[in-house]
């Protein structure tokens, strides 16, 4: 069997030893190929996967062209929770299973969300800039905010991460409100004592901090636009720890320039590989931009590599029921 590990170099793990260890332990004698992908190398990539049984990737577009070029491909394992780069209809038509990692970094992203929220509310970037670059010692350099216990946090998306953020924010004394049209009664019951479900407009009207944890879908592309920023009545801090495509970046810049929001923490941008030298969000004292790092810890990276490779092993050895999460399962005729 042949397994190809491929992605943009900036997104690949520095070491693939654990991935190879898991794959070769579960599939003795398998060939593991690591392919640093670039768009101008797509022809070479398509040639490489021609005889591949499995592909492990996160950001390469898995479309009709790619699937047609890989007639032996049986499974695409996504080493991420999102799978919007995969054409699920085409995968189903070609009989290729698709399995993202259902959960590996919930606590890490929730911790990062709270960390960046605190940094914004307490103006850490502004103070550090004043000390490091101006060599000033001024407690009143930045505009103060009220205590967290007097603030309301509005959460969009109450999946695993959103619920973890809600628990931590409630523990800090914040009032927590949320919107999620897809949440089940069972999952809401897990945080009902800490979170009040409400409408989009209610959050925009009453939140001091807004944080986005929605899964990307057709209904929420550019969910945060000029219209919604203008409705944020309390000029809140805005955090996006989900997907860059859910925010209209030009409108966000305008909202910052016009002080419709006090600041922002962004772990994702409109593109996964932004031109930071020319990005108008970079270099602001009230904006924290981080390189999609909210998930990053020794524990999460180990889990990500192990689970995504074990998914391949389980599927190729005839145990799809053991796969952590299957969104396309040809053996059952569709999506789960």
Quote the radius of gyration of the chain (alpha carbons, Å). Answer: 22
DSSP state of 215: P
Residue 135 annotated as catalytic: no
User: Per the structure block, which two tokens stand in for 248?
Assistant: 């209209």
Strands (E), the chain: 2-7, 31-36, 54-57, 75-78, 97-100, 152-156, 175-179, 195-197, 209-212, 237-240, 263-266, 287-289
Question: Residue 277: helix, strand or coil by DSSP?
Answer: helix
CA angle, 29 then 32 then 35, to 5°: 165
Catalytic residue among 41, 206, 292, 306: 292
* Half-sphere exposure for 73 (CA within 13 Å, toward CB): 31
Question: Per DSSP, what are the bridge partners of residue 328?
Answer: 98
Catalytic residue among 16, 272, 285, 306: 272
DSSP state of 86: B
Mark 215-237 as b/e (b = at least 16 C-beta within 10 Å).
bbeeebeebbeeebbeebebebb
Residue 332 annotated as catalytic: no
Nearest to residue 60, comparing CAs of 19, 94, 16, 9?
9
Neighbour order of strands in the sheet with 31-36? 31-36, 2-7, 54-57, 75-78, 97-100
The C-alpha atoms of residue 216 and residue 246 are separated, in whole angstroms, by 7
The C-alpha atoms of residue 108 and residue 168 are separated, in whole angstroms, by 12
Residue 243 annotated as catalytic: yes
Catalytic residue among 19, 48, 243, 246: 243
Active site residues: 243, 272, 292
């Amino acid at each position: 069997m042949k397994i190809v590990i491929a992605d943009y170099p900036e997104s690949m793990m520095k070491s693939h030893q654990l991935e190879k260890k898991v794959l070769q332990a579960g599939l003795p004698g398998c060939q593991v190929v690591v392919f640093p992908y670039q768009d101008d190398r797509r022809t070479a990539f398509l040639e490489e996967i021609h005889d591949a049984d499995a592909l492990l990737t996160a950001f390469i577009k898995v479309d009709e062209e790619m699937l047609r070029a890989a007639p032996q491909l049986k499974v695409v394992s996504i080493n991420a929770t999102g799978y919007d780069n995969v054409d699920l209809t085409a995968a189903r038509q070609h009989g290729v299973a698709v399995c993202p990692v259902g959960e590996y970094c919930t606590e890490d992203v929730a911790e990062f969300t709270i960390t960046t929220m605190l940094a914004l509310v307490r103006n850490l970037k502004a103070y550090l800039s004043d000390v490091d670059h101006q060599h000033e010692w001024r407690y009143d350099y930045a505009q103060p905010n009220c205590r967290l216990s007097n603030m309301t946090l509005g959460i969009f998306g109450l999946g695993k991460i959103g619920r973890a953020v809600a628990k931590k924010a409630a523990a800090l004394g914040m009032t927590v409100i949320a919107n999620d049209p897809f949440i089940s009664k069972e999952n809401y019951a897990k945080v009902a004592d800490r979170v009040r479900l409400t409408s989009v407009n209610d959050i925009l009207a009453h939140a001091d901090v807004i944080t986005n944890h929605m899964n990307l879908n057709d209904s929420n592309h550019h969910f945060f636009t000029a219209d919604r920023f203008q409705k944020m009545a309390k000029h809140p801090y805005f955090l996006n720890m989900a997907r860059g495509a859910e925010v209209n970046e030009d409108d966000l810049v305008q909202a910052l320039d016009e002080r419709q929001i006090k600041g922002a923490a962004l772990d994702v941008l409109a593109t996964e590989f932004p031109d930071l030298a020319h990005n108008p969000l970079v270099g602001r004292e009230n904006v924290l931009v981080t390189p999609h790092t909210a998930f990053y810890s020794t524990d999460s990276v180990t889990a990500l590599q192990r689970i995504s490779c074990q998914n391949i092993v389980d599927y190729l050895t005839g145990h799809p029921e053991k796969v952590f999460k299957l969104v396309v399962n040809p053996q059952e005729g569709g999506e789960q």
